[in-house]
Amino acid sequence: MVNYKDLGLVNTREMFAKAIDGGYAIPAFNFNNMEQLQAIIKACAETKSPVILQVSSGARKYANQTLLRYMAEGAVEYAKELGWEHPQICLHLDHGDTFELCKSCVDFGFSSVMIDGSSLPYEENIALTKKVVEYAHQYDVTVEAELGVLAGVEDDVVAEESHYTKPEEVIDFATRTGCDSLAISIGTSHGAYKFKPEQCTRDPKTGKLVPPPLAFDVLEEVEKVLHGSSSVPQEYVDIINTHGGNLPDAVGIPEDQLRKAAKSAVCKINIDSDSRLAFTAAVRKVLAEKPGEFDPRKYCGPARDEMVKLYKHKIIEVLGSDGKAE
Ligand code: G3H
Ligand code: 13P
Ligand code: ZN
């Protein structure tokens, strides 16, 4: 049994309380490799922003859960080396699907876990979430649950109102499970294709898709976590498409909607796809411009720099978490 406190990590309790009071949101960035982790820590150290490092099922398969956990431990030391005296870094399991997986993460030094029972019937979601909460809370590990189906997890489904979280279930669910935070569905979804073109209008000047607004009325009821919050920056989509890529009609959540969410009852905003886009755009550009290049550091380095820029932009211009972890 490894306690996250011995690794210099923190849980989300104090982070979220301060974020709600202060009208900002904590960034939750997924990481799968060293360059992403370096970029996240550099951006957070330079802006003094608290951060949640997320490990997804895809990341566990790709990079190995043990290795990722040791990388997060190393990230605390790296943050200090960068001059961040009191780093506030949480290591979080993203979309845990079983009690056993959540338990193994708690036992191995994660400071927060998500149990995603959103695909289960309501009562089964409650029972599973409660079991995880009872175990995790013994070790002061915080638990995120999910209510409402986040469209987009299934490849051919995009944001649809019928799956939105029912406000009347939220208090009942939170009280009966004891979860610390709740991922809700208000129109966001995972990935770089969050809406079908027919759900959007088209900007007549640029020809780009303009998505429908999020369902902010659901939000007013409780404190929330927002998954699927990438904005899918069109400059990255354009760089990718003009350097051999093919991402037609990729569309995300506009940043003004996310700013509004961060200022309200949303305390955690999840971003993964934007980092993938920044990375891919930078790599494609270098390889297209310098076809003789074969040293991965020559294209992963610029990709890392681009991700630092992206993370700092999110922290300062969208979430407002800069300066909140001095
Ligand atoms: O939950 C969605 C995240 O973006 C992680 O996805 O399992 O492909 O790493 P992944
Ligand atoms: P995006 O695909 O919008 O980046 O969402 C990431 C996420 O919600 C991870 O759990
Ligand atoms: Zn998610």
Q: How far is the CA of 292 from the centre of ligand 2 (A)?
A: 34
How many Å apart are CA 45 and CA 76, to the nearest integer? 10
Flag whether 277 is in a domain: yes
Flag whether 324 is in a domain: no
Contact between 29 and 54 under an 8 Å Cβ cutoff? The reply is yes
Flag whether 326 is in a domain: no
Please report the atom of ligand 2 found closest to the CA of residue 191.
Answer: 2
CATH number at residue 247: 3.20.20.70
Flag whether 220 is in a domain: yes
Flag whether 54 is in a domain: yes
State which residues form the domain around 187: 4-319
Which of 31, 97, 195, 230 best tests ligand 2's pocket when mutated (most atoms within 8 Å of CB)?
230
In the predicted model, what is the mean pLDDT of the chain?
93
Token output for 73: 């431990």
Flag whether 142 is in a domain: yes
Token output for 138: 């013994």
Minimum mean pLDDT among 41-55, 161-175, 247-261: which range?
161-175
Flag whether 177 is in a domain: yes
DSSP track, 92-151 = EEEEE-SHHHHHHHHHTT-SEEEE--TTS-HHHHHHHHHHHHHHHHTTT-EEEEEES--T
What digits encode the pLDDT tens for the residues 280-296? Answer: 999 999 999 999 999 99
Whether 152 shows a pLDDT value over 80: the answer reads no
Grouping H, G, I as helix, E, B as strand and the rest as coil, residue 11 is coil
Number of folded domains that form the chain? 1
Q: How confident is the model at residue 124 (pLDDT cuts 50, 70, 90)?
A: very high
- Dihedral sign, CA of 315, 232, 53, 220? positive
pTM: 0.95
What digits encode the pLDDT tens for the residues 153-163? Answer: 544 445 566 67
Give ligand 2 pocket residues (Cβ under 6 A): 30, 94-95, 190-191, 227-230, 270-274
Task: Let me know if 94 is a catalytic residue.
Answer: yes
Whether 223 shows a pLDDT value over 90: the answer reads no
